[in-house]
A and B are shown apart, each in its own frame.
Chain A
């Protein structure tokens, strides 16, 4: 079946620290992978995506590389800001399962000045 596992939170970092949020997946077929971000009181927004192995998605200083050999899609940012405080969700779409998204449980990030 399809599933996404991401690191448990909450994560608290000081401003300008390095961020890694781990995400691994299991999927039937060849999935596309996504990171979504949810700011307080809002819906989810796409942060970045990758659609094939070794693709790197990037946006707003965040990056994630599609690693098929390790079935991973870890989110990284070199220097976090207070404004990055949010909940981050890893997700996948897999062919053969309609158009359904499978989400991880979310990782809450708080950045302190």
Chain B
């Protein structure tokens, strides 16, 4: 009963370094999302995917790229990390439909120094 799993849970990067955050879900959900959570700003959508091989921009996509090569996985990449990308990142997934809840991962705390 894993649900949504994010790796890693913590990471410290130097400015300019790159990294990939992995999200995996085992509920056969069509939709997957990446959010960032910052104090006083709630959750802001970075990118999302409506199915394997598709991605779309959310509210704050700049500086991030994503890929969904398999239905169960959604990757978030930072090509050149900046201190402004210091945040807690959450992955979520759900089935299509207005009544369906989103299931969240435990989060990745990223610090860029």
Let me know if B98 and A95 touch, CB within 8 A. Answer: yes
**How many chain-A residues does the 8 Å CB contact rule pick out?**
24
Let me know if A103 and B42 touch, CB within 8 A. Answer: yes
Known: A43-B105, A44-B104. A104 touches B99 (CB 8 A): no
Q: Which residues on A sit within 8 Å (CB–CB) of B92? A: 44, 101
A41 to chain B: closest CB distance in Å? 8
A45 at the B interface (CB under 8 A) = yes
Known: A44-B104, A89-B43, A105-B40. A99 touches B99 (CB 8 A): no
Let me know if B105 and A101 touch, CB within 8 A. Answer: no
Interface size class of B (residues with CB under 8 A): 20 to 34
Let me know if B42 and A43 touch, CB within 8 A. Answer: no
B31 at the A interface (CB under 8 A) = yes
Our pick among B42, B45, B94 for the contact of A89 (Cβ within 8 Å) is: B42
Known: A99-B31, A101-B33, A103-B43. A43 touches B107 (CB 8 A): yes
Let me know if A99 and B42 touch, CB within 8 A. Answer: no
Q: Report B's interface with A, CB cutoff 8 A.
A: 4, 31, 33, 40-43, 45, 48, 50, 56, 58, 90, 92, 94, 96-102, 104-107
Q: List 26 A-B contacts (CB under 8 A).
A: A32-B99, A36-B104, A43-B90, A43-B107, A44-B90, A44-B92, A44-B102, A46-B101, A46-B102, A49-B99, A51-B99, A89-B43, A93-B100, A94-B98, A95-B98, A98-B50, A99-B31, A99-B48, A99-B94, A99-B96, A99-B100, A100-B45, A101-B33, A101-B45, A101-B92, A104-B42
